[in-house]
Amino acid sequence: MEAGDRVEPQTEELRARRPLFEATADELRAWTVEQGHQAYRVRQIQQWAFHRRASSFEAMTDLPLDLRRRLDADWSLFATAVAFRGESPDATDKLLLKCRDGRMIECVLMTEEHRRTVCISTQVGCGMGCVFCASGLRGVERNLTTAEIFDQVLQAQNLLPLGESVSHIVVMGMGESLANLDALLAALDRVCSADDGLGMSQRRVTISTVGLPEKIRKLAAQDRQYHLAVSLHAPTEELRNELVPVNEKVGLTAVVQAADDYFRITGRQVTYEYVMLGGVNDRHEHALALGRLLRGRKSHVNLIPYNPVAGLPFERPDPDGVRRFVATLRDRGVSATVRKTKGQAIDAACGQLRRRFESAPSPAFVSPLTVEVS
Ligand SMILES: C[S@@+](CC[C@H](N)C(=O)[O-])C[C@H]1O[C@@H](n2cnc3c(N)ncnc32)[C@H](O)[C@@H]1O
Ligand code: SF4
């Protein structure tokens, strides 16, 4: 598949069959024996599905034909269909995936020298309403299912050459991750399972949240190794209330306390994300206040230069100002770095590709919308 092409769904059509990944190895073994085949075939099926990039059951050529046909009748390899693939010159691929109900979700694959990182979504839209973010402009439509979350990793992995795998996951796409925590955890468990998943290390997964204190504590209690990123964006209650409306109910202090608890319970250092909006939260006084808030806390600040969203009144920050902001934090003993903005050419900020796709479909976009999903 070439980037930017019209994309037909996988050779396998999306039908209302159960996604293969939902079955545990034991369940699939029982099903395989029921079909009159030996249980060891399950290892082959899962190898094809999760590591050998099969695009259909038909392509699993070392399985008996009869078993391939039965698989095709009862199971689906994917829960979504690739509707559009965009590629950026900075080695970033963005996939727009169509769900069975016709809704679109986004994921991004970023390829660096030693990393293959996929950024995944957890909801269609978002209900948190951060004023600078494209994801929340129309509110939340629904939570993604476990299958739809897992599928994003699988579909992104399928873009890589055989022998290369997704090495890292960041849950930083559309939606508030912790508002769909149970489905997310179930999907990540399978992604990280060496027995019947992709075998990824939990330590290479970062979950980003707007900061829902009770959910942060619930995540901390899961006995998992996930890295937590908290989207702070402002050093004072007043400014955070303006930028992140949910803060009015939650409160900055409660968010930071929950993040402290996450570190205390898991021993994993928390990252604070801070989107820098030109002239809004990027001034020296903001750096000083952020330094005061985080000084002495075992944390790291990730500054994200704003990626402008059409129709929203925010601008990128001045690069020299960003450098001064970092220096001010570091002078106060707060660890901080600036994130490289990848994928702008393909709208790789959350929710932007879907929005462009839905609001102004160009001829190149029309074909995928006609994909039949039953
Ligand atoms: C899209 S959110 C998804 C995860 C979760 N809802 C959260 O807020 O952390 C991931 C990160 O992207 C940031 N973000 C949203 N819109 C952005 C934009 N236009 N430019 C840069 N970063 C953006 C958010 O502030 C957040 O830190
Ligand atoms: S930044 Fe995160 S929480 Fe805020 S609207 Fe966007 S996706 Fe939702």
* Nearest ligand, measured from the Cα of 348: 1
**Digit-coded pLDDT (tens) for 260-289:** 999 999 999 999 999 999 999 999 999 999
Does the CB atom of residue 176 touch ligand 1 within 6 A? Answer: yes
Give the list of residues 6+ apart from residue 74 with CB closer than 8 angstroms, or none: 17, 18, 31
Instruction: Output the six-digit token pair for 16.
Output: 């209302």
Active site residue 106: yes
Correct CATH for 81-357 of 3.20.20.70, 3.60.20.10, 3.40.50.970, 3.50.50.60: 3.20.20.70
Residue 107 annotated as part of some ligand binding site: no
* pLDDT, mean of residues 308-323: 96
Whether the pLDDT of residue 11 is over 50: the answer is no
Helix (H) or strand (E) segment spanning residue 92: strand 92-98
Take atom 7 of ligand 2 and give the residue whose Cα is closest.
175
Take atom 14 of ligand 1 and give the residue whose Cα is closest.
133
Does the CB atom of residue 230 touch ligand 1 within 6 A? Answer: no
CB atoms within 10 A of CB 369: 14
Considering 106, 148, 192, 273, which one is annotated as catalytic?
106
Specify the amino acid at residue 270.
Answer: V
- Do the domains 11-76 and 81-357 sit in the same CATH topology, yes or no? no
Pairing of strands 140-143, 270-276: unpaired
Taking the CA of residue 126 as reference, the ligand 2 atom at the shortest distance is: 8
Which pLDDT belongs to residue 6?
38
19-46 exposure pattern, b = at least 16 Cβ within 10 A, e = fewer: bbbbbebeebbebbeebebeeebbeebb
Whether the pLDDT of residue 207 is over 80: the answer is yes
CA of 200 to the centre of ligand 1 (A): 24
pTM: 0.90
Residue predicted with more confidence, 14 or 339: 339
Does the CB atom of residue 209 touch ligand 1 within 6 A? Answer: yes
Closest CA to 94 of 122, 77, 118: 118
Does the CB atom of residue 228 touch ligand 1 within 6 A? Answer: no
Whether the pLDDT of residue 24 is over 90: the answer is no
Does the CB atom of residue 211 touch ligand 2 within 6 A? Answer: no
Which pLDDT belongs to residue 22?
83
Domain limits of the chain? 11-76, 81-357
CA of 245 to the centre of ligand 1 (A): 14
The CATH T-level fold of domain 11-76 is DNA polymerase; domain 1 (1.10.150)
Whether the pLDDT of residue 362 is over 60: the answer is no
**Digit-coded pLDDT (tens) for 324-341:** 999 999 999 999 999 876
Taking the CA of residue 133 as reference, the ligand 2 atom at the shortest distance is: 6
